[in-house]
C-alpha cells in the first residue's frame, strides 16, 4: 500500500494531533556536535511532508529547528502543504526554565523555524539547569506557568510535558491552570510503563512515545538485551500481516493509543514507518509484545539524578554528563 496520512486524535483542548510524528533527534558525538548533517535532515523533512507526514517532533536542544523550518517553508511555498496542515512539536530546554525565560526560548525556536506559532510546546524535562549545567532550583510548576503564558499568547496552540513521572504529572494537573495536552515518554517493548500510560490517558492526556524502535536498532552501542529486528516472535507477527518488525512495533504503540515518533533519514524507511494504518494487532499480540518489558530505558541522564526533580529511578553508578559540563 502507498504511504498515506496518519489519523488525527483529539487533544483535551479540542484540537487535533496527527497520530504519527517524524523524530528529528540526530544525536551528538562526544564533543556535542551533530552526527548527521542538517542539510540531509532538511531534505528528509521535505520528503516526509511529500509522503504524507503531518507531524514533526523536534526540540531546541536537537539543533534541528532551522532545517525543519526551512523544509516547511519550502513545502508551503511549492504548495505541498499549508502551514496549518503541519503539526509542529518542539521542546523547552532545561537551561531556560525561569518563567520569563520560557518566552525568550520559544521566541528563539519560532524564529529558527520561521513560524508564528508551534502546535505543541513541551517542557523537555522537569529538571532545571543553569547555563553551566549546574542544578538550578526552579520548580517545574513555575516553568509550567511560563508554558501557560505561551498558550495564552497564542505562540503555542497546545502545551505539554516530557520525561515527567506520574507524581510530577499529577502535581502539574492539580496545581496548574491549564491541563497538559500531551505527555511524551520513552515507549518501546523494553519499557512499557503501563501504569504511567494508563494514568495519563485516564486524565485525558495524549501520550507520544519516543525511541519507538527500541532494541530493534543499534543505539550508540548500548545493549538492552531486548528483541532485535529478526526476533522470531516479532517476525511471526509481522509475517501474518505482511509487515516488517519495525512496523509491528509502531503499530503496537498505536493499539495502545500512543503516538510513535520514529526517526529516520532514509527515504524507504520514511515510507515503511508511515505504512502502519492499514492493519491491526489482536489484544493477544499486543500482550505478547508487552511481555518483552524489562523496564529498560535508553534515555536516562543519571548525571542529573541528584537533582530534586529528577524523574527516574536512581542507579548505583551514574554516568558522567557526555557534554562534559557540570
Which range touches ligand NDP (CB under 6 A), out of 46-54, 127-135, 190-198, 204-212?
A: 204-212
DSSP alpha helix (H) spans, the chain: 38-51, 65-77, 99-113, 140-152, 166-175, 194-202, 232-241, 245-255, 267-274, 283-290
Q: Does 213 bind ligand NDP (CB under 6 A)?
A: yes
Distance of CA 206 to the CA centre of its chain: 12
320's CB contacts (< 8 A; 6+ apart) are 303
Tell me which residues are annotated as active site. 62
Is residue 294 within 8 Å of 74, Cβ to Cβ?
no
Q: Does 212 bind ligand NDP (CB under 6 A)?
A: yes
Q: Which of 24, 94, 151, 193 is in the footprint of ligand NDP by CB under 6 A?
A: 24
Q: Does 210 bind ligand NDP (CB under 6 A)?
A: yes
Is residue 54 within 8 Å of 102, Cβ to Cβ?
no
Could you tell me the CA-to-CA distances from 249 to 112, 114, 234, 266 in Å, in that order? 33, 34, 8, 18
Both ends of the chain: CA-CA distance in Å? 50
Nearest distance from C-beta of residue 79 to ligand NDP, angstroms: 27
Task: Supply 178's cell numbers.
Answer: 491549564
Q: Are strands 16-18 and 8-10 parallel, antiparallel or unpaired?
A: antiparallel
Q: Does 63 bind ligand NDP (CB under 6 A)?
A: no
Nearest to 163 by CA among 134, 191, 204, 132: 191
Q: Does 301 bind ligand NDP (CB under 6 A)?
A: no
Q: Which is nearer to ligand NDP, 184 or 190 (CB)?
A: 184
Q: Which is nearer to ligand NDP, 240 or 266 (CB)?
A: 266
Q: How many residues does the chain have?
A: 326
Q: Does 25 bind ligand NDP (CB under 6 A)?
A: yes
Nearest distance from C-beta of residue 266 to ligand NDP, angstroms: 4
Which range touches ligand NDP (CB under 6 A), out of 132-140, 205-213, 302-310, 313-321?
A: 205-213
Nearest to 217 by CA among 167, 172, 273, 141: 273
Q: Which is nearer to ligand NDP, 100 or 239 (CB)?
A: 239
Q: Does 65 bind ligand NDP (CB under 6 A)?
A: no
Nearest distance from C-beta of residue 298 to ligand NDP, angstroms: 7
Q: Which of 160, 246, 301, 311 is in the footprint of ligand NDP by CB under 6 A?
A: 246
Distance CA(277)–CA(220), nearest Å, equals: 30
Tell me the residue nearest to ligand NDP as measured from the CB. Answer: 23
Which range touches ligand NDP (CB under 6 A), out of 170-178, 199-207, 265-273, 315-323?
A: 265-273
Q: Does 265 bind ligand NDP (CB under 6 A)?
A: yes
Nearest distance from C-beta of residue 217 to ligand NDP, angstroms: 4
Q: Are strands 182-186 and 206-210 parallel, antiparallel or unpaired?
A: parallel
The residues of the shown chain that bind ligand NDP, judged by CB under 6 A, are 23-25, 57, 124, 162-163, 184, 210-213, 217, 246, 261-266, 269, 272-273, 299
Amino acid at each position: 500500500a502507498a504511504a498515506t496520512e496518519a489519523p488525527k486524535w483529539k487533544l483535551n483542548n479540542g484540537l487535533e494531533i496527527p497520530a504519527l510524528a517524524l523524530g528529528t533527534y540526530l544525536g551528538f558525538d562526544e564533543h556535542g556536535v551533530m552526527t548527521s548533517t542538517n542539510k540531509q535532515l532538511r531534505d528528509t523533512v521535505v520528503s516526509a511532508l511529500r509522503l504524507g507526514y503531518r507531524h514533526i517532533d523536534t526540540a531546541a536542544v536537537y539543533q534541528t529547528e532551522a532545517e525543519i523550518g526551512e523544509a516547511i517553508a519550502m513545502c508551503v511555498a511549492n504548495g505541498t502543504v499549508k502551514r496549518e496542515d503541519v503539526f509542529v512539536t518542539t521542546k523547552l530546554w532545561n537551561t531556560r526554565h525561569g518563567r520569563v525565560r520560557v518566552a525568550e526560548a520559544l521566541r528563539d525556536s519560532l524564529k529558527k523555524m520561521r513560524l508564528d506559532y508551534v502546535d505543541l510546546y513541551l517542557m523537555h524535562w522537569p529538571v532545571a539547569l543553569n547555563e553551566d549545567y549546574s542544578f538550578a532550583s526552579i520548580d517545574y510548576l513555575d516553568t509550567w506557568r511560563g508554558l501557560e503564558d505561551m498558550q495564552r499568547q497564542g505562540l503555542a496552540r497546545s502545551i505539554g510535558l516530557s520525561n515527567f513521572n506520574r507524581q510530577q504529572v499529577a502535581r502539574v494537573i492539580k496545581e496548574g491552570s491549564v491541563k497538559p495536552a500531551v505527555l511524551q515518554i520513552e515507549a518501546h517493548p523494553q519499557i512499557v510503563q503501563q501504569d504511567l500510560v494508563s494514568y495519563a490517558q485516564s486524565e485525558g492526556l495524549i501520550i507520544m512515545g519516543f525511541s519507538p524502535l527500541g532494541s530493534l536498532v543499534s543505539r550508540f552501542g548500548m545493549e538492552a538485551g531486548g528483541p532485535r529486528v529478526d526476533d522470531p516472535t516479532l517476525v511471526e507477527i509481522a509475517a501474518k500481516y505482511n509487515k516488517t518488525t519495525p512496523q509491528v512495533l509502531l503499530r503496537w504503540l498505536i493499539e495502545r493509543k500512543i503516538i510513535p515518533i520514529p526517526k529516520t533519514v532514509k527515504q524507504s524507511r520514511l515510507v515503511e514507518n508511515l505504512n502502519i494504518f492499514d492493519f491491526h494487532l489482536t489484544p493477544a499480540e499486543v500482550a505478547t509484545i508487552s511481555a518483552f518489558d524489562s523496564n529498560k530505558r535508553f534515555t536516562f541522564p543519571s548525571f542529573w539524578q541528584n537533582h530534586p526533580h529528577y524523574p527516574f529511578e536512581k542507579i548505583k553508578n551514574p554516568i558522567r554528563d557526555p557534554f562534559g559540563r557540570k
